[in-house]
Structure 1
Amino acid sequence: MRSVLVRASVAVVALGSLAACGDGPAETKPTGHGDKPPTHTSAPAPSLRLDVPAAYDTARGWQLSGKQLGTYAVLPKAGAIATMTGAGSAYLVTVRDAVTGRVRWTGKPFADLSEGATPGLFVVPAGDAEYLVTWSRGKKGGDALAKAKQVYAVDVYAADGSGDAVAPARHAEVPATDYGTGNVTEAGERLLIPVTDKRRVALDVVTGRTTTYDTDSLKAPGCSSCSYGNDIAALTDRDPVVLNEGAGAFGIPGSWDDDRIAPAGADPATGAVWPAAGGHLVARWEQKNEGDQNVWAVLDGRTGRVQASVLCAKPFVASADAPGSALSPNGRYLVSEHLAFDLGAKKGYCFEETDGTKPLSFRSVTDDGIAYGTSLTKDGSLTGSTAPVRLALATGTPKALPEGQQAPVADFGGAGVFTHDVGNVSYLVVYRRKG
């Protein structure tokens, strides 16, 4: 499992958190250095003919590499792919049509406050729209007398922009501290900015409105004794989803709690929850009566309603990291690492490691319910080696792909997105779907 979100991208990226993210999750790659950001031109046709599933045509598509690539994120609803490239402390975003690679628009160059670290990039879905977000944290202002202030600088772009040097639709600067602060994340339908250990700021990407939450004043619903240890696990467009990890309690205060919505067989005193792609939540409980399985579920973030659930073997090595996730563009299928869900049929599938099966992890899922991912062979270590796999959610039966074949990290708008490294050069390759 990996930390969200971002994915989250996942959503994104995403990313990306390709959260997903939102999720599906964004991917970070090194960029070049110089006096100006690199010039963006139309993406060239793919010179790399990777071994990919038969649904994709390697003769049609486009690719980016090296300085043209930088960091990327996918925008499934817009049918586009965004890249963030830079040199020194100047960065800009470029949004290309996913099928043709044609540049739709470029953003106005912006400064990175992070003193050499690459700014964050991810996609946030809100209703029927998507927003591209960049952020960095560092010092701003200051002179011979006044100290510079530590801030989060966040830019929000509408996905459907056009032209060159497009300014962000929203720009926000939120005070930060020199210690105890983390990354800006997509925590559902708003951005979550961890100003301090006790104070969180939620930023609405549509309106630019900010809401400050003091975690000391929050309480996980359904837990009258939860006075300490409460935190925001996710955000809807209006409310925070509050989690008390120690008590295994979560929900939206005044609306719903996990005791009331927990699936049959779940021990409601053991709940945990994370944001998932498309405004969903992924929740987990231990099985009742100290059973040897966990209960996993996808929830509607606003209502807490269980959309699909599945029993799953407890992992040999548990992880405290948040699971990443990806949603099919049509919203019917959701994958979250070792889990796969058909939300339309209200079915869930688990591919956690057992005594007789290898663990599977899924990264992308198509509108026709085909999920792609990898299996893990540990070979006596915790890391081991991976092999590509394919899952048809109509049957729930995974199949191994031919050895060496590459699975897409995203599929939308009639194209599949693949990543590849040649030496020290990273490539993003997009192949059109056949037919």
Structure 2
Amino acid sequence: MRQKIVRLALVGGVVFLALLLLLATCGGGPGDGGTRDGAAPGTARPVLPGAGPVTRLTVPPQYTTDRGWEIIGASPDVAVSHATGLLAYLERPDANRYRLRTVDTATGELGWRGRAWRPPDTLNYPKLATVTKGDRQFFVTWSYGKAGDGLSPASTFLSLDLYDVTNGNRRRVEVPWSGAPDVHTTGPDIVISDAEANSTLVDPVTGEVSELSADELEYPKGCGACEQLTEVHGQAAEGLLLGGAREFWVRGGWFSRNVAPKGADRGSGVVTSVTPAQVLAKWTPARKTGRATTHELWAVHDAATGEVLTSVECHKPAIKPGHHPQAVLSPSGDYLIAGNLAFDLAAKKGHCFEDEDGAARLTLATVTDDGIAYGAENARDALEALSGGGLPVSMDFAGWTTDRLARDVRLPETETTGVGVFRWTDRKDRTRLIGYPRAR
């Protein structure tokens, strides 16, 4: 009888522990209830083994695969807060709802998570980015679609959710919008444009919405090209960053003609990409140099003043690309890459990777604070390089040298807190994110 009681007690203890584990893994967590979406960091780790063994991919030699963290079922987009070391991603609790989650990249511990919500477009993951204004930083998600009550015609709008990076507190902003929106999150405000000259600004701190129409843009005097194909490219500290068929300017601030790089045609500047602090622009060399027909001059401008930080010449492509490469900054902001261009902003030097015949066969996609960039030869763009296209390479800013990596090497999509974040798709078609620390 005594042995039977002991066995029952042991069974009861096992059941009790199993229930505790179930509650910790599947139960309510920060953001699942109450009046706020953010709370203390979660302790449940249903798919994060933490700093232990994870799936081993073939990666560049700068990283170790002996330990790390892993997320199963992540969104196509992720966002990183280098200030806090948090990475944000979206998960899909059911067919029509999404939830923002965070992970501490240094430890693999889950951070705060948001409450699940239904976006206007339920078929696709909302877009995700980071925006900074002053000393406040936010993860922002947005989705565009229709809403209606069945009694009146459905209206289209852009739904944005702004999450304070530090605690996950959420603010929702809905902006009526007609046509596919162009959303810029380089800050300080979120800029929504119609890919032309009309725009709406959303203050991420207050949620205040303001509109700016094309007739309020204040074109620079004497710039006829500014009024042709006018486009909103984002925002600088003093105002909107705008560009025309040629030349660009900041509303209420500087004008490209007055900050042209040395050796450039002052009336030829075109914005190609924007970061929170820089503008990457393409210029035509001055005719007197004799290189105007064969080369382009690429310059990195300070977004606040327009000052040229560094520049480099490249051959013109044989075929005009459909879109310009997007600029990518290292976490510290010391290095910038874009396609076959690389800039050491601290040393004020630039480099164009091209063959002797002018062909640009290298595309850079990721750059780290250690002065190492990753990309691929013969890849059409950074997205293809990160997806495994082309021949993977690494580039060292110390000597502008490149090294070919093994054909099956996966490239990090980003790096922060000394951890590279890699993406792959398993046999069940689930997207996985893996964090591997740098090898010591």
Q: TM-score range by the shorter chain?
A: 0.7 to 0.9
- Among 144, 157, 168, the residue aligned to 1:151: 157
Give the distance between the partners of 2:355 and 2:438, measured in 1 at CA: 32
Whether the aligned pair in 1 keeps the contact of 2:140 and 2:162 (CA below 8 Å) is yes
- Among 76, 81, 96, the residue aligned to 1:89: 96
Distance 1:232 1:364, change over 3 A: same
Distance 1:385 1:132, change over 3 A: closer
Give the distance between the partners of 1:388 and 1:287, measured in 2 at CA: 32
Give the distance between the partners of 2:355 and 2:80, measured in 1 at CA: 30
The CA RMSD over aligned residues, in Å, is 2.6
Larger radius of gyration: 2
Shift of 1:303: 0.9
Shift of 1:218: 2.0
> Which deviations, in whole Å up to 9, do the C-alpha atoms of 1:278-314 show, x marking residues without a partner?
3311111122222411111111112111111111111
Who is 1:208 aligned against?
207
Residue 374 of structure 1 aligns with an amino acid whose one-letter code is A
Matched, 1:361 2:363: yes
Shift of 1:270: 1.9
Task: Provide the secondary structure at the position in 2 that maps to 1:259.
Answer: helix
Shift of 1:59: 0.9
Give the distance between the partners of 1:227 and 1:278, measured in 2 at CA: 25
Whether the aligned pair in 1 keeps the contact of 2:68 and 2:435 (CA below 8 Å) is yes
Bigger drift between 206-215 and 262-271 goes to 206-215
Which consecutive residues of structure 2, in runs of 5 or more, have no partner in the other structure?
1-43
Residue 162 of structure 2 aligns with an amino acid whose one-letter code is V
Bigger drift between 351-360 and 91-100 goes to 351-360
Who is 2:29 aligned against?
none
Whether the aligned pair in 1 keeps the contact of 2:272 and 2:326 (CA below 8 Å) is no
Residue 276 of structure 2 aligns with an amino acid whose one-letter code is G
Shift of 1:344: 0.8
> Which deviations, in whole Å up to 9, do the C-alpha atoms of 1:67-99 show, x marking residues without a partner?
355642222222121110112221110000002
Distance 1:269 1:353, change over 3 A: farther
Who is 2:261 aligned against?
263
Give the distance between the partners of 1:62 and 1:410, measured in 2 at CA: 15
Who is 2:326 aligned against?
324
Who is 1:15 aligned against?
none
Shift of 1:371: 0.9
- Among 21, 27, 48, the residue aligned to 1:43: 48
Give the distance between the partners of 2:358 and 2:210, measured in 1 at CA: 49
Distance 1:220 1:282, change over 3 A: farther
Whether the aligned pair in 2 keeps the contact of 1:176 and 1:196 (CA below 8 Å) is no
Pairing of 1:158-169 with structure 2 (within 5 A) = 158-161=164-167, 166-168=168-170
Distance 1:238 1:208, change over 3 A: farther
Who is 1:16 aligned against?
none
> Which deviations, in whole Å up to 9, do the C-alpha atoms of 1:182-217 show, x marking residues without a partner?
242325432221358552102122332333111243
Give the distance between the partners of 2:77 and 2:265, measured in 1 at CA: 41
Give the distance between the partners of 1:197 and 1:283, measured in 2 at CA: 18
> Which deviations, in whole Å up to 9, do the C-alpha atoms of 1:248-267 show, x marking residues without a partner?
11111442111111111212
Who is 1:174 aligned against?
175
Whether the aligned pair in 2 keeps the contact of 1:313 and 1:353 (CA below 8 Å) is no
Whether the aligned pair in 2 keeps the contact of 1:46 and 1:429 (CA below 8 Å) is no
Task: Provide the secondary structure at the position in 2 that maps to 1:56.
Answer: coil
Task: Provide the secondary structure at the position in 1 that maps to 2:64.
Answer: strand
- Among 253, 276, 279, the residue aligned to 2:277: 279
Task: Provide the secondary structure at the position in 2 that maps to 1:192.
Answer: strand
Residue 375 of structure 1 aligns with an amino acid whose one-letter code is E
Give the distance between the partners of 2:379 and 2:227, measured in 1 at CA: 43
> Which deviations, in whole Å up to 9, do the C-alpha atoms of 1:86-144 show, x marking residues without a partner?
12221110000002221110001111101422211111233454310011122235353
Bigger drift between 191-200 and 423-432 goes to 191-200
Pairing of 1:106-145 with structure 2 (within 5 A) = 106-142=113-149, 144=151
Give the distance between the partners of 2:219 and 2:362, measured in 1 at CA: 33
Give the distance between the partners of 2:238 and 2:206, measured in 1 at CA: 12
Pairing of 1:397-416 with structure 2 (within 5 A) = 397-416=401-420
Higher strand share: 1
Who is 1:239 aligned against?
239
Who is 2:22 aligned against?
none
Pairing of 1:14-53 with structure 2 (within 5 A) = 41=46, 43-44=48-49, 45-53=52-60
Give the distance between the partners of 2:251 and 2:183, measured in 1 at CA: 23
Whether the aligned pair in 1 keeps the contact of 2:88 and 2:101 (CA below 8 Å) is yes
Whether the aligned pair in 2 keeps the contact of 1:327 and 1:334 (CA below 8 Å) is yes
Residue 84 of structure 1 aligns with an amino acid whose one-letter code is L
Whether the aligned pair in 2 keeps the contact of 1:42 and 1:101 (CA below 8 Å) is no
Pairing of 1:247-258 with structure 2 (within 5 A) = 248-258=246-256
Whether the aligned pair in 2 keeps the contact of 1:220 and 1:252 (CA below 8 Å) is no
Which consecutive residues of structure 1, in runs of 5 or more, have no partner in the other structure?
1-38
Give the distance between the partners of 1:307 and 1:429, measured in 2 at CA: 35
Matched, 1:293 2:298: no
Task: Provide the secondary structure at the position in 2 that maps to 1:420.
Answer: strand
Task: Provide the secondary structure at the position in 1 that maps to 2:66.
Answer: strand
Whether the aligned pair in 1 keeps the contact of 2:378 and 2:390 (CA below 8 Å) is yes
| Matched length | 383
Give the distance between the partners of 1:253 and 1:196, measured in 2 at CA: 17
Task: Provide the secondary structure at the position in 1 that maps to 2:298.
Answer: strand
Distance 1:194 1:371, change over 3 A: same
> Which deviations, in whole Å up to 9, do the C-alpha atoms of 1:319-354 show, x marking residues without a partner?
242421221111111111221111111101112465
Give the distance between the partners of 2:104 and 2:205, measured in 1 at CA: 23
Shift of 1:176: 1.1
Give the distance between the partners of 1:211 and 1:324, measured in 2 at CA: 27
Whether the aligned pair in 1 keeps the contact of 2:193 and 2:232 (CA below 8 Å) is no
Residue 191 of structure 1 aligns with an amino acid whose one-letter code is I
Who is 1:63 aligned against?
70
Task: Provide the secondary structure at the position in 2 that maps to 1:99.
Answer: coil
Higher helix share: 2
Give the distance between the partners of 1:401 and 1:196, measured in 2 at CA: 39
